[in-house]
């Protein structure tokens, strides 16, 4: 992130309030990313690899839920109660039994190795300390388990990357603390996760990452 932004960093409380406010509109707000930039298709491909006991971190309104295998046991956590309300409605509509809890991704309240699969999507851009959150995901994932990440960051298209850099502060302030010029692959590697597969898509902004 641009060093200029540090004094203006949003607190967890501010991020939570921003998502509480946007919860009812969130699925509409990301329609373009989902259906034009290919996020929904990649989400389906990636999240259907999840198995066993699954933890969905920063689950938001539950857009990953339809793709988890019916046989799996899913726990979903998020900071925002309103986002979780929408997620619970989605789970009920899909007839899924998903446990939801308010929880900070940077301090997961689960024992080491509790889950077979840990997933997160469109979230490391917002976590104040994404490396700490990724380390927590690795900690609660069983040895040999799967970590599935659908993340966005700096485009590899130079014109778009420049646009993101120029507007990073405005985007951060208008989008609940989203830092859109980070490199998700760097974050994942720095956190000590081992990437086994990754695919870039959607104007070079998005990454579907399988790690362990």
Ligand X SMILES: C[S@@+](CC[C@H](N)C(=O)[O-])C[C@H]1O[C@@H](n2cnc3c(N)ncnc32)[C@H](O)[C@@H]1O
Nearest approach in angstroms of CB 158 to ligand X is: 25
Task: Using CB under 6 A, pick the residue from 63, 146, 147, 191 that binds ligand X.
Answer: 63
**Total of residues contacting ligand X (CB under 6 A):** 19
DSSP sequence for the chain: --GGGGGGPPPHHHHHHHHHHHGGGHHHHTHHHHHTSSHHHHHHHHHTT--SEEEEET-TTTTTGGGS-TTSEEEEEES-HHHHHHHHHHHHHTT--EEEEE--GGG--S-TT-EEEEEEES-TTT-SSHHHHHHHHHHHEEEEEEEEEEEE---SSHHHHHHHHHTHHHHHHHTTT--TT--HHHHHHHTT--EEEEEEETTTTEEEEEE-
Beta carbons of 37 and 205 less than 8 angstroms apart:
yes
Q: Is 121 in the site for ligand X (CB under 6 A)?
A: yes
Phi, psi of 59 (to 5 degrees): -70, -15
Q: Is 181 in the site for ligand X (CB under 6 A)?
A: no
Choose one: 45-53, 73-81, 92-100, 201-209; the region binding ligand X (CB under 6 A). 73-81
User: Which one, 107 or 159, has the nearer CB to ligand X?
Assistant: 107
| Tally of CB atoms within 10 A around 55 | 27
- Point out the residue whose Cβ comes nearest to ligand X: 60
Nearest approach in angstroms of CB 121 to ligand X is: 3
Task: Using CB under 6 A, pick the residue from 10, 47, 75, 104 that binds ligand X.
Answer: 104
Task: Using CB under 6 A, pick the residue from 54, 58, 86, 205 that binds ligand X.
Answer: 58
Choose one: 65-73, 79-87, 157-165, 192-200; the region binding ligand X (CB under 6 A). 79-87
Q: Is 79 in the site for ligand X (CB under 6 A)?
A: yes
User: Which one, 80 or 181, has the nearer CB to ligand X?
Assistant: 80
Choose one: 45-53, 100-108, 184-192, 196-204; the region binding ligand X (CB under 6 A). 100-108
Nearest approach in angstroms of CB 204 to ligand X is: 19
Beta carbons of 178 and 125 less than 8 angstroms apart:
yes
- Interface ranges with ligand X (CB under 6 A): 12, 15, 19, 58-60, 63, 78-80, 83, 104-106, 121-123, 126-127
């Amino acid at each position: 992130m641009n060093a200029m932004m540090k004094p203006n960093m949003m607190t967890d409380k501010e991020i939570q309030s921003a998502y509480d406010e946007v919860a009812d509109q969130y699925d509409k707000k990301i329609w373009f990313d989902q259906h034009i930039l290919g996020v929904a298709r990649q989400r389906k491909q990636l999240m259907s690899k999840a198995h066993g006991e699954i933890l969905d971190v920063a689950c938001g309104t539950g857009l990953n839920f339809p793709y988890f295998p019916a046989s799996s046991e899913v726990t979903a956590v998020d900071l925002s109660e309103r986002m979780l309300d929408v997620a619970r409605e989605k789970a009920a509509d899909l007839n899924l039994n998903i446990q939801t809890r308010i929880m900070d991704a940077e301090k997961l309240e689960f024992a080491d190795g509790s889950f077979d699969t840990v997933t997160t999507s469109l979230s490391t851009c917002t976590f104040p300390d994404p490396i700490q959150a990724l380390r927590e995901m690795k900690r609660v994932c069983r040895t040999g388990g799967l970590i599935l990440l659908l993340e966005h960051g700096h485009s590899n298209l130079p014109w778009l990357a420049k646009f993101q850099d120029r507007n990073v502060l405005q985007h951060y302030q208008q989008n609940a603390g989203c830092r859109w010029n980070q490199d998700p692959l760097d974050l994942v590697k720095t956190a000590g996760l081992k990437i086994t597969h990754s695919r870039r898509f959607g104007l070079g902004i998005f990454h579907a990452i399988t790690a362990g």
